[in-house]
Structure 1
Amino acid sequence: MKHLEILPYPEVKPITDTAKRLVVFLHGLGSDGHDLISLTPLMQDILPDCHFISPHAVQPFDMAPYGRQWFSLNDRTLEKMQQLIIPSAELLTKIIIDKQQQLNLTNRETIIIGFSQGTMIGLYLTLIQEQPFASMIGFSGKLINPAACINKKTPICLIHGDADEVVDISEMSNIVDYLARHNIKYSSLTVPNLTHSIDASGIEYALKFISDSTEV
């Protein structure tokens, strides 16, 4: 197993004077935190009180000399991924808690947004929380379910392109089946003709879901 580490990461302060919510972007395999932080300008008008962070994944990518990974995908059996995701999720938890403490926020004011492998670890992390997150958005992801589903109160939004050539659209149905079995509130959007990426319609859908999930 490659060494796990926390690196300095990009972040964007809220438009408002004080952060009332925290958005945590979780990028995909072989990318880094600079990827999803670029979505911030598309979201700030709707989420002006949010502090955005985009951590770099905790390991160097092991299939290329550049990029990061949350855990290795050399062995893609569910059992192996369930084993590898645990220490990475623990370190990601530390990153989130450290920033929450700086901002005087908790899970209840924290929004998780993942893409691809970032959705995998974001979903896993959401399901093991004792205190629920405000919401979780998963783009183009796959379920790596924990040994026990502790948190059933975080509303989850799934968005996936039906032309995804990297993570098949059927993976969204697998997640939906799991969430339905555990009585977890969810919403899902299939984007026609979209490959393994995020488009404007997905962002719009995610923002509406976040707004609808916000407690009054």
Structure 2
Amino acid sequence: MSNPLLDTIEKETGPNPTAAVIWLHGLGADGGDFVPIVPELDLTGCGPIRFVFPHAPTMPVTINNGYVMRAWYDIIGIDLGRREDEAGLRKSQALVEALIAKEKARGIPASRIVLAGFSQGCAMTLQTGLRHAEKLAGLLCLSGYLPIHASVEAERHSANHETPIFLAHGRSDPVVPVRLAEMSRDHLLSLGYQVEWHEYAMPHSVCPEEVADISRWLQRVLG
């Protein structure tokens, strides 16, 4: 049974896009959360890009007393890396795979597709990108962590072993501790991935310095 396509917001930087960035939002937000970042990015030399901002499904979130909100998977407790909603992660992984397939059907090869995400969206970017069966252009991972990390070595696909990974975090993040991001970075490095690590003097957010670094990275992987 095929997965239903998620509702999305799309922004194209020019006609006939030759690349795509699928950008996944964080817990409780929606696809509109990162739309304003597009005009802030310097995409010189990248060619026209289609930015795709999907809305996550709605579900009750345990840590928020079962309140129904947009989420890629359930958050069971504050110990993010320990008790994990593996079934939810894998279900949303299939939804993200369907978005990649849609871009390929529209003529953009996997090698010109960047997966990007913030917080839970970062976790989904790594969950999906490391297992994807075709080489992607890059994984843009902001203020999140590597989920179900113990399964990565067995489940990862060799197609994306050389795919560039941008991993960034705020030093004063009260939501996803920077130590969890550092552990994710170290685990990815131990498996031989190309991780470009950035940390900033910010909380669980995005700062201008980070936007400039993201611009340079996108120019490199899509230029």
Correspondence for 1:98 among 92, 96, 102: 102
Correspondence for 1:205 among 195, 199, 213: 213
> Does the aligned pair in 1 maintain the 2:29–2:70 contact within 8 Å?
yes
1:68 equivalent in alignment to 2:70: yes
**Structure 2 equivalent of residue 126 of structure 1:** 129
> Does the aligned pair in 2 maintain the 1:32–1:67 contact within 8 Å?
no
> Does the aligned pair in 1 maintain the 2:42–2:215 contact within 8 Å?
no
Q: Which moved more, 1:135-144 or 1:81-90?
A: 81-90
Instruction: Count residues with an aligned counterpart.
Output: 209
- Alpha-carbon shift at residue 133 of structure 1 (Å): 1.0
**Structure 1 equivalent of residue 19 of structure 2:** 21
1:88 equivalent in alignment to 2:101: no
**Structure 1 equivalent of residue 53 of structure 2:** 54
SS in 2 for 1:25: strand
SS in 1 for 2:187: helix
The amino acid across from 2:215 in the alignment is: L
CA 1:202–1:44 in 2, change beyond 3 Å: closer, same or farther? closer
**Structure 1 equivalent of residue 193 of structure 2:** 184
Percent identical across equivalent pairs? Answer: 22
Q: Deviations over 1:115-159 (max 9, x none)?
A: 000000101111101212101111100111335222312110111
TM-score (norm. length: structure 1): 0.87
Structure 1's unaligned 5+ residue stretches are: none
> Does the aligned pair in 2 maintain the 1:155–1:186 contact within 8 Å?
yes
> Does the aligned pair in 2 maintain the 1:59–1:71 contact within 8 Å?
no
**Structure 2 equivalent of residue 149 of structure 1:** 156
**Structure 2 equivalent of residue 39 of structure 1:** 37
Q: Deviations over 1:33-91 (max 9, x none)?
A: 01012211112643451111100113335347564100111255646333321111011
Q: Which has the higher contact order (CA 8 A, sep 6+)?
A: 2
Q: Which moved more, 1:116-125 or 1:172-181?
A: 172-181
The separation in 1 between residues aligned to 2:41 and 2:89, in whole angstroms, is: 29
- Alpha-carbon shift at residue 96 of structure 1 (Å): 2.2
The amino acid across from 2:73 in the alignment is: F
**Structure 1 equivalent of residue 204 of structure 2:** 196
